[in-house]
Amino acid sequence: MSKLTKVILSEKDAPTHWYNINADLPALGVELPPPLHPGTLEPIGPEALAPLFPMELIMQEVSTERYIEIPEPVQEVYRLWRPTPLFRAHRWEKALDTPAKIYYKYEGVSPSGSHKPNTSVAQAYYNAQEGTKRITTETGAGQWGSALSFACQLFGLECKVYMVKVSYEQKPYRRVLMETWGAEVIPSPSVLTNAGRAILDKDPDTTGSLGIAISEAVEEAATRDDTKYSLGSVLNHVLLHQTIIGQEVIKQLEMFDAGWPDVVVGCTGGGSNFAGFFYPFLAAQIDEGKKTRIVAVEPAASPSLTRGKYAYDFGDTGQMTPLMKMHTLGHDFVPAPIHAGGLRYHGMSPQISAVLDARLIEARNTTQLPMFGACKSFVQAEGILPAPEAGHAVWGAMGEALACKESGEAQTIVFNLCGHGHFDLSAYDAYHAGKLEDYEYPDEKVAASLEALPLIT
Amino acid sequence: MSKLTKVILSEKDAPTHWYNINADLPALGVELPPPLHPGTLEPIGPEALAPLFPMELIMQEVSTERYIEIPEPVQEVYRLWRPTPLFRAHRWEKALDTPAKIYYKYEGVSPSGSHKPNTSVAQAYYNAQEGTKRITTETGAGQWGSALSFACQLFGLECKVYMVKVSYEQKPYRRVLMETWGAEVIPSPSVLTNAGRAILDKDPDTTGSLGIAISEAVEEAATRDDTKYSLGSVLNHVLLHQTIIGQEVIKQLEMFDAGWPDVVVGCTGGGSNFAGFFYPFLAAQIDEGKKTRIVAVEPAASPSLTRGKYAYDFGDTGQMTPLMKMHTLGHDFVPAPIHAGGLRYHGMSPQISAVLDARLIEARNTTQLPMFGACKSFVQAEGILPAPEAGHAVWGAMGEALACKESGEAQTIVFNLCGHGHFDLSAYDAYHAGKLEDYEYPDEKVAASLEALPLIT
């Protein structure tokens, strides 16, 4: 009898609803502080977001309905790659010589190569429904920009992507991919916006950051009537759209007859792939009392959950967004140029920040050399090449597996491999050549950044 | 009721045997002339291949058993990505405004991104079983080299890849991918072999060719006891290993309730993905009398099936291989540097050549600009980015679909999308920028190359 390697649900077993954790936060003992207007410091209402987002997404942002139906045109596009596979890592378990059972959800089968289209397709759909003609956004490594370009193409929208300059230079193929789906790609900071010009005046050689790119994209959307803005992580509605990941995983674990996992592991930048992966496990905790350890892994160069402060801060460098209470390194944080470009964000989703504050999850960090070491071990056993972002989850899962080797426990570990590294091979090349540096965020910089936080507690 | 977009077989429904068309050639009215010794011009026996290949593969090369069981360790590795999906191209049909029903098999979900591991895994397995320590090979675009590197890694073999120089320079990420799986990659022609040095003496600026790279890899294997050689296409046993593709497609079409296809389309370089895709349709023709049109598409820059001669020729430029009867442009053919590097081979599988000679299939060719135009149309509708090699099948299927639009016929078209283009984005970049050239193989070059053929008819 052959061992099952993977389970893929049929299209008819795909989730039809997104799971909205807002409905369950009280039951989980989590308080989610509201976003504040940066001038009045009063909680902002949905109408304040109307220049940036279509009304349906704003309603999802504040909704407390537990399940929100996925529109059929969105489900139809999901079927181009979903449901995605869940693998049992038989070969990697053997290579690590661990008694642990390791499973991984693989979101890299999407056209753009990560979990990001789960939300970009929904966002493009609602924008198209409400008459938006153009969408602006920012992208770090290019995963989000690719996903939005793909989605805009399908729904007939123009797409303009401000891409963090260091990634624009490190990952030229990502630009071409976005252009293949019809998008315009601009290295950020650019001279096209006030926010970009202000940064370039101060530091012409800046490598850019997600915070700066967000400012540029938001500014353009806020100043043009035909244009809305789209965010690839952080906000409630974005995390909501990702919850199909965890819903599928739970069904797939049943088909594997795997039992309930001891620990689930994901990587975090703004938090969306991680949230989409673990929220349904919290729902099961409420409904059925099933518990699991939940572990977030972030880069040591951008350690918002592990070393940031839980405080109100701007979502962007240019101070254009509402204030959100979140784990933050300060909105003027400019991270070291690590290859996990998608994780180099100063803040964290307010939902995940609140969930961490309530101690429902754990967080840890790693520098990039050990992370690439874990990826190398994984790719040699399983074949799939992880993106450096996803590599943080690989590193986290490997740590759990090696702890099991130490203790002799046959735990069940599940992690989210949120994207492939086909566009990150220059990073692997540098790693093989011994040219990659480890970056850790220095204590004095943590302190200095946090001084710049707005004084709201 | 939602429309089915794709069908993926479960692991327990995966094929357990390869289909060996050698068994059916007499019933199909096809005569397959034997390979000849280049010195004696006598048919060569299996023992002549023993310095290059393990005995089990040589036995498969000449076997006339209709089905050959796939060893469990090979099936186990296949399960890392197989069975692969069959899609219905709903969106592309709509974009093309055709009454045709278009299906595509997607082999790009493998770790190395194409159908190539279907045979590399089998070849590495049999080599490891028989004590081989090292394997040499050639690669054009890098698809085959990646696939063999991946497979060698899994079975603990060293792997050395001679990569056609123009591709080595066009596709640096492919090199890194091979190195990530532990292979050594050498631009060909190199100074490491007599064959390479001879070519470099004549033409130091040569961009290389598959024929030259084969000579280098064969020379190294033939002169080292611990080393065998591995070929990614052309030979019977390689095509054999690919027949799981077509077997899956036939089951998947049933699950789609699609009826028997009117036409199946594949791209051809050495012929392996095409053969693996259509051979099972010929088996069904014999068993059940079901007929379908079978169309091969090749580059106009390397038109062996459409403009070559069906004659005995060497498989390599250095005249080291046995003579094979095949459609050939002459073994000293050096193709234009088109981006479909995997299709730039002077010859064609002897099996496919014989099948074309018996008029069981059709062949056509295209230059690369119309091919990229078809890919652009496909990627904008379906999301998946085709490799330029696979793009020839996309172009062929699009031609069939547009013919249906003209005629009003709702034909069923199935094509093999044999790999993704994630490592070919420089080609898409050049296409967008209007910098791609069309190459057609000139008549006088066809004539000149054919003059160099050995005088055996």
Write the residue in A2, A112, A113 that is nearest to B75 by C-beta: A2
Mean predicted confidence (pLDDT) in A17-25:
98
Tell if the CB–CB gap between A432 and B8 is shorter than 8 Å: no
Task: Tell me how far apart the alpha carbons of residues A224 and A219 are, in angstroms, rounded to a whole number.
Answer: 9
Rg from Cα positions in chain A = 20
Write the residue in B3, B90, B180 that is nearest to A428 by C-beta: B180
Q: Kindly list the structural domains of chain B, giving each domain's residue range(s) and its CATH number in brackets, ordered by start.
A: 6-15+69-113+237-450 (3.40.50.1100)
Which residues on chain B are in Cβ contact (under 8 Å) with A177?
385, 425
Quick one: closest CA in B to A150, which residue? B383
Task: Tell me how far apart the alpha carbons of residues B30 and B24 are, in angstroms, rounded to a whole number.
Answer: 9
B321 within 8 A of B218, measured Cβ to Cβ: yes
Cross-strand bridge partners of residue B159: B135
What is the residue whose two structure tokens read 């068309």? Answer: B21
Q: Give per-residue burial for B57-69: e unless 16+ CB within 10 Å, then b.
A: bbebbebeeeebe
Instruction: Kindly report whether the global pTM for this prediction surpasses the value 0.90.
Output: yes
| CA-based torsion, A303, A309, A312, A317: positive or negative | negative
pLDDT of residue B210: 83
Which residues on chain B are in Cβ contact (under 8 Å) with A384?
80, 111
pLDDT surpassing 70 at residue A334: yes
Max CA distance (Å), chain B: 67
pLDDT surpassing 50 at residue A145: yes
Quick one: closest CA in A to B89, which residue? A80
Q: What is the pLDDT of residues A374-402, one digit of tens each?
A: 999 999 999 999 999 999 999 999 999 99
CB of B179 less than 8 A from some CB of A: yes
Task: Tell me how far apart the alpha carbons of residues B114 and B147 are, in angstroms, rounded to a whole number.
Answer: 8
Write the residue in B81, B176, B432 that is nearest to A425 by C-beta: B176
Cross-strand bridge partners of residue A362: A295
Cα B121 to Cα B70, B326, B406, B433, B449, distances in angstroms:
11, 26, 43, 38, 35
Write the residue in B112, B380, B422 that is nearest to A423 by C-beta: B422
* Arithmetic mean of pLDDT over chain A: 94
Residues 362-391 of B with CB under 8 A from A: 376, 379-380, 382-385
- Residue A410 three-state SS: coil
Tell if the CB–CB gap between A176 and B6 is shorter than 8 Å: no
> Which pair of tokens denotes residue A221?
């959307």
Work out the minimum CA distance from B51 to partner chain A, whole angstroms: 29
Pairing relationship of beta strands B293-299 and B263-267 according to DSSP bridges: parallel
pLDDT of residue A450: 75
pLDDT of residue A228: 98
Alpha carbon A49 to chain centroid, angstroms: 21
Confidence category of residue A338, pLDDT binned at 50, 70, 90: confident
What amino acid occupies position B413?
I
Which residues on chain B are in Cβ contact (under 8 Å) with A79?
2, 5-6
| CA-based torsion, B232, B234, B236, B242: positive or negative | positive
Which residues on chain B are in Cβ contact (under 8 Å) with A436?
none
> Which pair of tokens denotes residue A182?
């019809």
pLDDT of residue B446: 77
Work out the minimum CA distance from A341 to partner chain B, whole angstroms: 18
Judged by phi (left if over 0) then psi (alpha if -120 to 50, else beta), residue A79 lies in: alpha
Quick one: closest CA in B to A107, which residue? B109
Task: Tell me how far apart the alpha carbons of residues A44 and A37 are, in angstroms, rounded to a whole number.
Answer: 6
A74 within 8 A of A251, measured Cβ to Cβ: no
Closest listed residue to residue B211, CA positions, set B304, B122, B133: B304
Residue A134 or A444, more confident: A134
Mean predicted confidence (pLDDT) in A350-359:
98
pLDDT of residue A1: 47
B396 within 8 A of B265, measured Cβ to Cβ: yes
Mean predicted confidence (pLDDT) in A116-136:
98
Task: Tell me how far apart the alpha carbons of residues B429 and A172 are, in angstroms, rounded to a whole number.
Answer: 10
- Residue A451 three-state SS: helix
Residue A169 or A221, more confident: A221
CB of B288 less than 8 A from some CB of A: no
Q: What is the pLDDT of residues A400-455, one digit of tens each?
A: 999 999 999 999 999 999 999 999 999 999 999 999 989 888 888 778 777 767 65
Q: What tens-digit pLDDT sequence spans chain B (457 residues)?
A: 468 999 999 999 999 999 999 999 999 999 999 999 988 999 998 888 999 999 999 999 999 999 999 999 999 999 999 999 999 999 999 999 999 999 999 999 999 999 999 999 999 999 999 999 999 999 988 999 999 999 999 999 999 999 999 889 878 899 999 999 999 999 999 999 999 999 999 999 998 888 899 999 999 999 999 999 999 999 999 999 999 999 999 999 999 999 999 999 999 999 999 999 999 999 999 999 999 999 999 999 999 999 999 999 999 888 888 999 999 999 888 778 788 888 888 999 999 999 999 999 999 999 999 999 999 999 999 999 999 999 999 999 999 999 999 999 999 999 999 999 999 999 999 999 999 989 888 888 778 777 767 656 5
All residues at 6 or more sequence positions from B378 whose CB lies less than 8 Å from its CB, including other chains: B89, B92, B384, B386, B394, B398
- Residue B405 three-state SS: helix
